[in-house]
A and B are shown apart, each in its own frame.
Chain A
Amino acid sequence: SQQGEEDPQALSIQEGENATMNCSYKTSINNLQWYRQNSGRGLVHLILIRSNEREKHSGRLRVTLDTSKKSSSLLITASRAADTASYFCATGGGSNYKLTFGKGTLLTVNP
Protein backbone atom coordinates (compact mmCIF):
# COMPACT_ATOMS: atom_id res chain seq x y z
CA SER A 1 0.00 0.00 0.00
CA GLN A 2 1.14 3.53 -0.68
CA GLN A 3 -0.76 4.76 2.35
CA GLY A 4 0.75 7.77 4.02
CA GLU A 5 0.83 7.95 7.77
CA GLU A 6 1.08 11.27 9.52
CA ASP A 7 2.91 11.92 12.71
CA PRO A 8 2.02 13.21 15.25
CA GLN A 9 -1.70 12.42 15.36
CA ALA A 10 -2.32 15.67 17.22
CA LEU A 11 -0.25 18.80 17.77
CA SER A 12 -1.05 21.81 19.93
CA ILE A 13 1.04 24.99 19.71
CA GLN A 14 0.84 28.69 20.47
CA GLU A 15 0.21 31.30 17.84
CA GLY A 16 3.46 32.45 16.27
CA GLU A 17 5.22 29.13 16.74
CA ASN A 18 6.16 26.82 13.91
CA ALA A 19 4.33 23.54 13.35
CA THR A 20 5.97 20.50 11.81
CA MET A 21 4.07 17.45 10.65
CA ASN A 22 5.58 14.32 9.17
CA CYS A 23 4.34 11.74 6.70
CA SER A 24 5.73 8.31 5.96
CA TYR A 25 4.73 6.01 3.12
CA LYS A 26 5.58 2.54 1.97
CA THR A 27 6.07 2.30 -1.79
CA SER A 28 7.42 4.36 -4.67
CA ILE A 29 5.42 7.45 -5.52
CA ASN A 30 4.97 9.91 -8.36
CA ASN A 31 4.15 12.75 -6.07
CA LEU A 32 3.14 13.57 -2.52
CA GLN A 33 0.51 16.13 -1.68
CA TRP A 34 -0.62 17.86 1.48
CA TYR A 35 -4.24 18.78 2.11
CA ARG A 36 -5.96 20.68 4.86
CA GLN A 37 -9.44 20.06 6.26
CA ASN A 38 -11.35 22.29 8.60
CA SER A 39 -13.70 20.45 10.92
CA GLY A 40 -16.40 18.59 8.98
CA ARG A 41 -15.59 20.31 5.69
CA GLY A 42 -13.97 19.37 2.41
CA LEU A 43 -10.25 19.07 1.83
CA VAL A 44 -8.23 21.92 0.38
CA HIS A 45 -5.09 21.23 -1.61
CA LEU A 46 -2.04 22.97 -0.12
CA ILE A 47 1.03 21.85 -1.99
CA LEU A 48 2.38 19.10 -4.23
CA ILE A 49 5.94 17.87 -4.36
CA ARG A 50 7.13 15.52 -7.08
CA SER A 51 9.36 12.55 -6.51
CA ASN A 52 12.34 14.31 -8.13
CA GLU A 53 12.01 17.37 -5.88
CA ARG A 54 13.45 17.69 -2.38
CA GLU A 55 11.91 20.89 -1.09
CA LYS A 56 9.13 23.24 -2.02
CA HIS A 57 7.76 26.47 -0.58
CA SER A 58 4.39 28.16 -0.75
CA GLY A 59 3.86 31.20 1.45
CA ARG A 60 4.29 30.06 5.06
CA LEU A 61 4.43 26.41 4.00
CA ARG A 62 7.57 24.42 3.43
CA VAL A 63 7.48 20.81 2.32
CA THR A 64 10.40 18.43 2.13
CA LEU A 65 10.56 15.01 0.57
CA ASP A 66 13.11 12.30 1.23
CA THR A 67 12.41 9.42 -1.13
CA SER A 68 15.23 7.32 0.36
CA LYS A 69 13.46 7.40 3.72
CA LYS A 70 9.99 7.46 2.15
CA SER A 71 9.05 10.45 4.24
CA SER A 72 7.89 14.03 3.91
CA SER A 73 7.44 16.91 6.29
CA LEU A 74 5.17 19.93 6.25
CA LEU A 75 6.34 23.01 8.12
CA ILE A 76 3.96 25.89 8.83
CA THR A 77 5.85 28.94 10.00
CA ALA A 78 4.49 31.71 12.21
CA SER A 79 1.28 29.81 12.84
CA ARG A 80 -2.07 31.53 13.28
CA ALA A 81 -5.24 30.46 15.06
CA ALA A 82 -6.82 30.14 11.59
CA ASP A 83 -4.33 27.36 10.78
CA THR A 84 -6.22 25.10 13.20
CA ALA A 85 -7.32 22.14 11.06
CA SER A 86 -6.47 18.56 10.16
CA TYR A 87 -3.62 18.09 7.74
CA PHE A 88 -3.36 15.06 5.47
CA CYS A 89 -0.65 13.77 3.22
CA ALA A 90 -1.67 11.89 0.09
CA THR A 91 0.44 9.80 -2.22
CA GLY A 92 0.02 8.44 -5.70
CA GLY A 93 -1.97 9.96 -8.49
CA GLY A 94 -0.85 9.17 -12.00
CA SER A 95 -2.13 6.22 -13.95
CA ASN A 96 -3.73 4.35 -11.08
CA TYR A 97 -6.18 7.23 -10.48
CA LYS A 98 -5.78 6.94 -6.75
CA LEU A 99 -4.74 9.35 -4.09
CA THR A 100 -4.08 7.41 -0.90
CA PHE A 101 -4.56 9.44 2.24
CA GLY A 102 -3.24 9.05 5.76
CA LYS A 103 -5.29 9.53 8.91
CA GLY A 104 -4.12 13.09 9.36
CA THR A 105 -2.59 15.33 12.00
CA LEU A 106 -4.95 17.51 14.00
CA LEU A 107 -3.24 20.86 14.51
CA THR A 108 -4.54 23.24 17.16
CA VAL A 109 -3.07 26.74 17.26
CA ASN A 110 -3.93 28.51 20.48
CA PRO A 111 -4.30 32.31 20.37
Chain B
Amino acid sequence: ETGVTQTPRHLVMGMTNKKSLKCEQHLGHNAMYWYKQSAKKPLELMFVYSLEERVENNSVPSRFSPECPNSSHLFLHLHTLQPEDSALYLCASSQVAGADEQFFGPGTRLTVL
Protein backbone atom coordinates (compact mmCIF):
# COMPACT_ATOMS: atom_id res chain seq x y z
CA GLU B 1 0.00 0.00 0.00
CA THR B 2 2.61 2.59 1.03
CA GLY B 3 6.20 2.59 2.21
CA VAL B 4 5.03 2.98 5.81
CA THR B 5 4.11 -0.11 7.81
CA GLN B 6 2.49 -0.34 11.22
CA THR B 7 2.17 -3.23 13.66
CA PRO B 8 -0.01 -4.49 15.09
CA ARG B 9 -2.99 -3.64 12.92
CA HIS B 10 -5.41 -4.29 15.76
CA LEU B 11 -4.83 -4.17 19.51
CA VAL B 12 -7.15 -4.73 22.44
CA MET B 13 -5.79 -3.89 25.86
CA GLY B 14 -6.96 -3.38 29.39
CA MET B 15 -6.42 -0.14 31.24
CA THR B 16 -3.57 -1.58 33.29
CA ASN B 17 -1.67 -3.11 30.37
CA LYS B 18 1.48 -1.81 28.76
CA LYS B 19 1.80 -2.18 25.02
CA SER B 20 3.70 -0.60 22.15
CA LEU B 21 2.81 0.39 18.63
CA LYS B 22 5.48 0.16 15.97
CA CYS B 23 5.94 2.10 12.77
CA GLU B 24 8.58 1.63 10.11
CA GLN B 25 9.13 3.69 7.00
CA HIS B 26 11.06 2.43 3.99
CA LEU B 27 11.16 5.74 2.14
CA GLY B 28 14.37 7.26 3.44
CA HIS B 29 12.45 10.10 5.07
CA ASN B 30 13.78 12.19 7.94
CA ALA B 31 10.53 13.04 9.72
CA MET B 32 7.93 10.83 11.34
CA TYR B 33 4.59 11.57 12.96
CA TRP B 34 1.96 10.01 15.19
CA TYR B 35 -1.68 10.95 14.69
CA LYS B 36 -4.84 9.91 16.53
CA GLN B 37 -8.08 9.50 14.62
CA SER B 38 -11.26 9.22 16.69
CA ALA B 39 -14.76 8.86 15.34
CA LYS B 40 -16.41 12.15 14.37
CA LYS B 41 -13.24 14.15 15.09
CA PRO B 42 -10.54 15.59 12.86
CA LEU B 43 -7.21 13.84 12.71
CA GLU B 44 -5.13 14.97 15.71
CA LEU B 45 -1.38 15.37 15.52
CA MET B 46 0.32 13.85 18.56
CA PHE B 47 4.09 13.89 18.02
CA VAL B 48 6.60 14.91 15.37
CA TYR B 49 10.16 13.63 15.10
CA SER B 50 12.80 15.12 12.86
CA LEU B 51 16.09 13.23 12.53
CA GLU B 52 15.18 11.24 15.65
CA GLU B 53 14.60 14.38 17.71
CA ARG B 54 11.14 15.20 18.99
CA VAL B 55 10.16 18.60 17.66
CA GLU B 56 6.48 18.64 18.53
CA ASN B 57 4.47 17.31 21.43
CA ASN B 58 0.93 18.39 20.90
CA SER B 59 -0.21 18.39 24.55
CA VAL B 60 -0.42 14.63 24.65
CA PRO B 61 -0.95 12.93 28.05
CA SER B 62 2.10 11.22 29.50
CA ARG B 63 0.43 7.81 29.26
CA PHE B 64 1.54 8.02 25.61
CA SER B 65 5.32 7.86 25.29
CA PRO B 66 6.96 8.05 21.86
CA GLU B 67 10.38 6.71 20.95
CA CYS B 68 12.36 7.20 17.76
CA PRO B 69 15.55 5.11 17.85
CA ASN B 70 16.45 5.96 14.24
CA SER B 71 14.92 7.78 11.32
CA SER B 72 13.21 4.63 10.03
CA HIS B 73 11.47 3.50 13.20
CA LEU B 74 8.94 5.10 15.50
CA PHE B 75 7.26 3.60 18.54
CA LEU B 76 4.35 4.67 20.69
CA HIS B 77 4.49 3.14 24.16
CA LEU B 78 1.14 2.90 25.89
CA HIS B 79 0.44 2.49 29.61
CA THR B 80 -2.52 3.03 31.89
CA LEU B 81 -4.77 4.03 29.02
CA GLN B 82 -8.40 5.07 29.29
CA PRO B 83 -11.35 3.82 27.22
CA GLU B 84 -11.51 7.22 25.48
CA ASP B 85 -8.05 6.50 24.08
CA SER B 86 -9.62 3.91 21.80
CA ALA B 87 -9.00 5.14 18.26
CA LEU B 88 -7.11 4.54 15.05
CA TYR B 89 -3.45 5.52 15.51
CA LEU B 90 -1.76 6.54 12.32
CA CYS B 91 1.93 6.91 11.65
CA ALA B 92 3.21 9.08 8.83
CA SER B 93 6.53 10.16 7.40
CA SER B 94 7.80 12.93 5.16
CA GLN B 95 11.06 13.89 3.53
CA VAL B 96 11.66 16.58 6.11
CA ALA B 97 9.54 17.83 9.00
CA GLY B 98 6.85 20.12 7.77
CA ALA B 99 7.32 18.89 4.20
CA ASP B 100 4.41 19.19 1.91
CA GLU B 101 3.38 15.60 1.46
CA GLN B 102 3.05 13.04 4.22
CA PHE B 103 2.91 9.32 3.65
CA PHE B 104 0.66 7.38 6.01
CA GLY B 105 0.73 3.84 7.29
CA PRO B 106 -2.44 1.73 7.50
CA GLY B 107 -2.93 2.46 11.18
CA THR B 108 -3.39 0.47 14.38
CA ARG B 109 -6.96 0.12 15.59
CA LEU B 110 -6.69 0.33 19.39
CA THR B 111 -9.47 -0.68 21.74
CA VAL B 112 -9.06 0.00 25.47
CA LEU B 113 -11.38 -2.01 27.68
List the one stretch of A10-18, A37-45, A72-80 in contact with chain B. Answer: A37-45
B4 within 8 A of partner (CB): yes
Q: Shortest beta-carbon distance, B31 to chain A, in Å?
A: 8
Given known pairs A3-B42, A102-B42, A103-B41, the reply for A93 and B90 (CB within 8 Å) is no
Q: Which of B1, B40, B101 contacts A42 (CB 8 A)?
A: B1
Please, which residues of chain A bring their CB within 8 A of the CB of B66? none
A-B residue pair count with CB separations less than 8 angstroms:
61
Q: From residue B71, how far is it (CB to closest CB) to chain A in Å?
A: 15
Instruction: Choose from B43, B48, B88 the contact partner of A97 (Cβ within 8 Å).
Output: B48
Most interface-central of B48, B50, B56, B97 (chain A CB within 10 A): B97
Q: How far is the CA of A8 from the CA of B45 in the complex (A)?
A: 23
**Contact (Cβ within 8 A) B100 A97:** no
Query: How far apart sit A3 and B43, CA to CA, in the bound complex (Å)?
Result: 10
Per-residue CB proximity of A1-38 to B under 8 Å, as 1/0? 00100000000000000000000000000010101000
Distance in Å: Cβ of B88 to nearest Cβ of chain A? 7
Q: How many A residues have CB within 8 A of the partner chain?
A: 24
Task: Indicate whether B99 reaches chain A with its CB closer than 8 angstroms.
Answer: yes
Bound state CA distance, A104 and B39, in angstroms? 11
Q: Take A3-B42, A31-B100 as given contacts and tell me if A97 and B2 are in contact as well, using a CB distance cutoff of 8 Å.
A: no
Q: Is B99's CB under 8 angstroms from A93's CB?
A: yes
Which residues of A sit under 8 angstroms from B1, Cβ to Cβ?
41-42
Q: Chain A 85-111, CB within 8 Å of chain B: the 1/0 string?
A: 000100001111111111110000000
Smallest CB–CB gap between A55 and chain B, Å?
A: 18
Residues of A within 8 A of B (CB): 3, 31, 33, 35, 40-45, 48, 88, 93-104
The chain B residues found within 8 Å of chain A, CB to CB, are 1-2, 4, 6, 31, 40-43, 45, 48, 50, 55-56, 88, 90, 92, 97-107, 109
